[in-house]
Amino acid sequence: MAERVFLITSHYMGVLYIDELLRAGEEIVGVVAWPDDGGWHVPPEYDVRSKAFRHYLPLYEPDPADLNKPEFVDVIRKLEPDYIISGYYAKIFKKDILSLPPKGCINIHPTGLPRFRGLSPYFTHMLFGDDHNYITMHWLDPGVDTGDIIGQGKVEIRPDDTGFTCGHRLTEAGAATFREYWPQVKAGAAPRIKQDESIASNFNFSWDMAEIDWTKSNLEIFNLVRCITKPFSGAWTTIGGYKMNVWKARLVERSNEIPALEEKPGEVLALTGKGMWVKCGTGQLQILEAALEERPEITPFELVAPTGGRVRLILG
């Protein structure tokens, strides 16, 4: 028997959710999509709105701030869903929504809960230097990502990964996790694994974090750069009074470090046609690709190339 599902989602996760639910023969009674990209890059194949249109599904785009208001709760109530399923939608659902579906509410969270509860993007584990990114299918309760766990998936973080490339694979791992456990959910036999509060943590990503803090270690800065490089807006710093987006960097091995005694974090230690070496709070980073926001016609390396003598240049 088909279940009536109300879907609250965005981006690629929403596209895959629709595929999985239709494949399972469920009746999607409505789809809530984020009304814009929220500052994230959304290629056409990630657009859940277009996906809903193509399958003739009722689409709703409320202001996220209005999602829990009685007027929209009534919209959902009239659709009589058996389940509410959500994923990649940065909003906490209040009790009025959670109590609507008789069979429960399920969410896909792009971290390995109970670590990184909150508004954590799908590259959070990469940002913090883990070897894998994780994704969790869980029941919703009134807390912030505190509901019982149904199942988890993970993907290895490859040396050449960016936040976008690894996040793409992680989202697909989330869809596979949903595909595996959804029959158990329907049968009333899905796991309900209590989250271990002793290892719980919270993390809310903000684009304010995109500004590079050169007092951090070279590994922390390297991870930030690759997590939010293209197609996202990128990590940034300032150089010679200009805002500089840093698109690609690499860690400088200790054996290859340039001697740096009294230099400050953010100081440019060397500049070549292959980039610039920068001192960090710990270690050094080589910037391989960057662009000036106000001067796209020249490279930052051209701007700061010394004309003679040693030029002391500090980023940030």
Cα distances (angstroms) measured from residue 132 to each of 155, 169, 228: 5, 11, 17
Q: Which fold has domain 4-199?
A: Rossmann fold (3.40.50)
Per residue in 181-209, pLDDT (tens digit) is: 999 999 999 999 999 999 999 999 999 99
Q: Which two tokens stand for residue 189?
A: 């036999």
**Which residue is it, tokens 């088909």?**
2
- pTM score: 0.92
User: Hey, where are the domains in the chain?
Assistant: 4-199, 207-304
Q: Does an H or E element contain 175, and which?
A: helix 163-186
The residue type found at 45 is E
- Homologous superfamily of the 207-304 domain (CATH): Formyl transferase, C-terminal domain (3.10.25.10)
Residue 97 has pLDDT above 70, yes or no: yes
DSSP code for 15: H
**Residues near 300 by beta carbon (within 8 Å), at least 6 away in sequence:** 239, 242, 244, 276, 287, 290, 291, 292
Per residue in 114-129, pLDDT (tens digit) is: 999 999 999 999 999 9
DSSP code for 40: S
